[in-house]
């Protein structure tokens, strides 16, 4: 499979089911929207707006809106965007996750922290041997390299030597270790490239449905290993000629008719050319 661009979500998708990766990332098949996923987007948007209020110091009574008010406005916006889904029925579910975020110690990073980055978009180019060629906040042209894309929910300055990165998780599933997960590795690489003046980078994955927080601390010695690991994974994906199917929990969100028909097509191509 040809690999030109990867992200944490695409690598996790490949690990869960190679064929779903093929359908989504190679054939660009669009799967139906998942209501819980949209709720996650809504909560992320509200936290982003609150963080921007803080960063821009919009804290007067006249200008600052209550979090619940921002949530209602955001729910209404997404209801218009997805008119066939009953998004307003999930207001209490979204509000519960929002309150869990604000009541946690990490809520202070949204409302009162020294914010230096919100929804920080990044693109970095990785050579085949695992060397970063450049990093930018705009999508660069394709070239003889692998593009790695992502965005960081929130970046706070703790002191002159330390960054605090927060990622809000609205899913129920929680890995046993974040240290060797793709998102943590990619965040570490991007953060060190965007903020080279900071020696210490602490990542926190905050699970809003579970009330759990997973901290991850990388040392500078992990930087090269993370780059080489991601380059090796991209090489592995590009070497796949017949993607395998893993019929697991992801199939609950998959259009099985598309899966079956496309799988038969590619199987015939693989077997008979």
DSSP per position, the chain? ---SEE-HHHHHHHHH-HHHHIIIIIS-PPPPPPHHHHHHHHHHHHHHHHHHHHHTT--STTTPPPHHHHHHHHHHHHHHHSTTS-GGGGHHHHHHHHHHHHHSTTHHHHHTS-EEEEEEEEEEEE-TTS-EEEEESSPPPP-SSEEEEEEEEEEEEEETTEEEEEEEE-SS---S-STTSHHHHHHHHHHHHH-TT-SEEEEEEEETTTTEEEEEEE-TTHHHHHHHHHHHHHHHHHT-SS-----SGGGGGS-HHHHHHHHHHHHHHHHH-
pLDDT tens by residue, 245-272: 776 655 665 555 556 666 666 555 644 4
pLDDT tens by residue, 34-73: 898 999 999 999 999 988 888 776 544 445 568 899 999 9
Give the mean model confidence (pLDDT) for residues 238-247: 81
As a whole number, the mean pLDDT across the chain is 84
pLDDT tens by residue, 212-231: 888 888 888 889 999 999 99
Give the mean model confidence (pLDDT) for residues 90-107: 86
- pTM (two decimals): 0.84
């Amino acid at each position: 499979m040809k690999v030109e661009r990867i992200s944490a979500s695409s690598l996790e998708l490949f690990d869960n089911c190679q064929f779903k990766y093929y359908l989504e990332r190679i054939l660009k098949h669009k799967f139906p929207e998942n209501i819980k996923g949209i709720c996650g987007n809504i909560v992320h948007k509200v936290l982003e707006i609150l963080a921007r209020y803080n960063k821009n110091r919009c804290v007067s009574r006249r200008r600052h809106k209550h979090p619940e008010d921002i949530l209602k406005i955001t729910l209404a916006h997404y209801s218009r965007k997805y008119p066939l889904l009953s998004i307003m029925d999930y207001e209490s579910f979204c509000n519960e996750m929002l309150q869990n975020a604000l009541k946690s110690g990490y809520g202070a990073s949204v409302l009162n922290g020294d914010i230096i980055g919100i929804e920080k978009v990044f693109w970095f180019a990785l050579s085949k041997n695992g060397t970063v060629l450049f990093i930018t906040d705009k999508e660069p042209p394709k070239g003889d390299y692998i593009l790695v894309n992502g965005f960081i929910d929130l970046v706070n300055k703790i002191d002159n030597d330390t960054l605090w990165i927060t990622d809000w998780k609205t899913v129920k599933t929680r890995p046993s270790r974040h240290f060797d997960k793709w998102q943590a590795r990619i965040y570490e690489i991007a953060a060190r490239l965007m903020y080279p003046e900071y020696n210490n980078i602490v990542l926190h994955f905050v699970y809003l449905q579970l009330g759990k927080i997973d901290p991850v601390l990388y040392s500078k010695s992990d930087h090269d290993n993370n780059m080489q690991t991601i380059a090796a994974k991209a090489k592995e994906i590009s070497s796949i000629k017949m993607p395998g199917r893993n019929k697991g929990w992801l199939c609950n969100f998959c259009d099985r008719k598309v899966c079956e028909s496309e799988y038969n097509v590619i199987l015939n191509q693989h077997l008979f050319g």
